[in-house]
A and B are shown apart, each in its own frame.
Chain A
């Protein structure tokens, strides 16, 4: 049974870089799945950030594309999110998830989420 676990700093300074990792257990990032990041600001809805395949192919939300990098480390069975030049608007719960059906897909397995606050 695939499980995902997000980790990373809970507090990031404004203008800094948010860095999160999603560790996979019960499965492999090298399998034929795409892996996604989604975020949810406090009290608000869900926003898709981007996705990655084990080959390193990525797709990003254009609204964040200039600031986002998603990478994968198949040797560690994990994938990561970096978001640069953060502001208070980037405060959110960040989820990693597995795409249920290739790229541009619904998400069938989710991590528990990790809260990131942007504040000095």
Chain B
């Protein structure tokens, strides 16, 4: 299985900050990577697919980049609604696997 490792596991930030989360794959996954946002008690919400494509309806302050084994999710100007846990997912090969999550907390 392809292992997905996110860093950091927890991130403390303030409204207005620029935030970057990294996801590393144990082998190349081309650009077959998605990012999700999950709030407590809710289902994950798709933010980014194919590493850098913004899902319809997702604010433009979210962006994704990377290819191969290293990827980043950037929130350009953190809003109060963005405090949540973020997961990356590779879908290059079976089984699809997720990172362990990055919790973005209020500083």
A positions within 8 Å CB-CB of B: 38, 45-48, 59, 61-63, 95, 97, 100-101, 104-108, 110-113
B positions within 8 Å CB-CB of A: 34, 36, 42-46, 49-50, 55, 87, 89, 91-101
- Please, could you name 11 A-B residue pairs with CB atoms under 8 Å apart, sorted by A? A46-B36, A46-B98, A48-B95, A48-B97, A61-B96, A63-B95, A106-B46, A106-B91, A107-B34, A110-B43, A110-B45
Contact (Cβ within 8 A) B98 A104: no
Most buried by A among B43, B45, B89, B100: B43
Complex Cα–Cα for A97 and B95 (A): 16
The chain A residue with its CB closest to the CB of B95 is A61
- The main secondary structure of chain B at its interface with chain A is loop
Contact (Cβ within 8 A) A45 B99: yes
Asked if A104 meets B43 with Cβ closer than 8 Å, knowing A45-B98, A48-B97, the reply is no
Complex contacts, A95 vs chain B, CB 8 Å: 43-44
Complex contacts, B50 vs chain A, CB 8 Å: 106
Complex Cα–Cα for A107 and B35 (A): 10
Complex Cα–Cα for A110 and B91 (A): 17
User: With A106-B50, A111-B43 given, can you name 17 additional A-B contacts, CB distance below 8 Å?
Assistant: A45-B87, A45-B98, A45-B100, A46-B98, A48-B95, A59-B94, A61-B94, A61-B95, A104-B92, A106-B34, A106-B91, A107-B34, A107-B46, A108-B46, A108-B49, A108-B55, A110-B44
Contact (Cβ within 8 A) A62 B98: no
Complex contacts, A38 vs chain B, CB 8 Å: 44
Complex contacts, A59 vs chain B, CB 8 Å: 94
Contact (Cβ within 8 A) A113 B43: yes
Contact (Cβ within 8 A) B94 A100: no
Contact (Cβ within 8 A) A101 B43: no
Complex contacts, B43 vs chain A, CB 8 Å: 95, 97, 110-113
